[in-house]
Amino acid sequence: MWDALIEACRRLQHSDQVPHAHSTTARITVTIPLANLLEQTDGHLTDGGLLPTGDRLSAAAVRRLACDAEIIPAVLGSQGQVLDVGRTQRLVTTGIWNALVLRDHHCAFPGCTRLPLACDAHHIHHWADGGPTALDNLILLCRKHHTLTHRTPWQVRIHPQTRRPEWIPPPPVDVRDRISYYIPPRPQPPLVA
């Protein structure tokens, strides 16, 4: 176990990715199932974490290393594709894009069938407002409906059971509540004979 840590430190020292003075102490990317990270407290290597070098660490060792480090959550699909990168980046990964296409098939706005090629990945809870780049916070929207979603009170969420987009239309507009402005008709020009 310590050999793996020493090797990781040696490689970091010889790279251009050494943390800067005012950033986090370290950034650790270890692939480990969340259940294993939460459950295992002993130092055994069974179902522990996997470093990019191929070395294995126990869940206890991963927790110790992560004490002062920036934790990067990465939720993996069944084939190992990244489906959630949290707040580390705004743009979707290839794995997230492929999962969006499989789930939505086309623009997710009701009635629209624009193909994924003509769509953007839209953050339901906007990334600028703290929303993560995760499959459950993204939908495919064509440019027209992406703009409409940002400029109108349409709301969308991912249904908790079906995991599919669910749209909430804006409330109906009561025209009686609007102020009416009377604009007199323009006088017609005289007819010339």
List the beta strands (DSSP E) in 13-158. 26-28, 49-50, 56-57, 69-71, 75-76, 82-84, 119-123, 138-142, 155-158
- Give 99's contacts (C-beta < 8 A, 6+ positions apart): 77, 81, 83, 135
Between 173 and 47, name the one with better pLDDT.
173
Q: Which long-range contacts (CB under 8 A, 24 or more apart) does 164-168 make?
A: 164/103, 164/104, 165/104, 165/108, 165/139, 167/109, 167/110
- Checking if the pLDDT of 112 tops 70, the result is yes
Give the model's pLDDT for residue 67: 58
**C-alpha separations of 162 from 50, 62, 98, 103, 154 in Å:** 32, 34, 18, 10, 20
Q: Which helix (H) or strand (E) holds 146?
A: helix 143-151
Between 5 and 74, name the one with better pLDDT.
5
Give the model's pLDDT for residue 5: 72
The span from the CA of 93 to the CA of 189, in Å, is 64
- Do residues 169 and 154 touch, judged by C-beta distance below 8 A? yes
- Checking if the pLDDT of 125 tops 90, the result is yes
- Do residues 99 and 81 touch, judged by C-beta distance below 8 A? yes
Between 122 and 27, name the one with better pLDDT.
122
Between 98 and 58, name the one with better pLDDT.
98
Between 80 and 140, name the one with better pLDDT.
140
Sign of CA dihedral 80, 81, 83, 88: positive
156: amino acid identity, one letter: V
Give the model's pLDDT for residue 187: 78
Average pLDDT value for residue range 59-87: 61
- Checking if the pLDDT of 71 tops 60, the result is no
Q: What is the mean pLDDT of the chain?
A: 74
pLDDT digits (tens, 9 = 90+) for 127-179: 888 899 888 999 999 999 999 998 989 999 999 888 899 999 988 866 565 55
3-state secondary structure of 125: coil
The span from the CA of 192 to the CA of 123, in Å, is 62
Give the model's pLDDT for residue 137: 94
- Checking if the pLDDT of 110 tops 90, the result is yes
- ∠13-15-18 over CA atoms, to 5°? 65
192: amino acid identity, one letter: V
pLDDT digits (tens, 9 = 90+) for 7-42: 776 666 655 555 444 444 555 555 666 566 555 454
Give the model's pLDDT for residue 37: 55
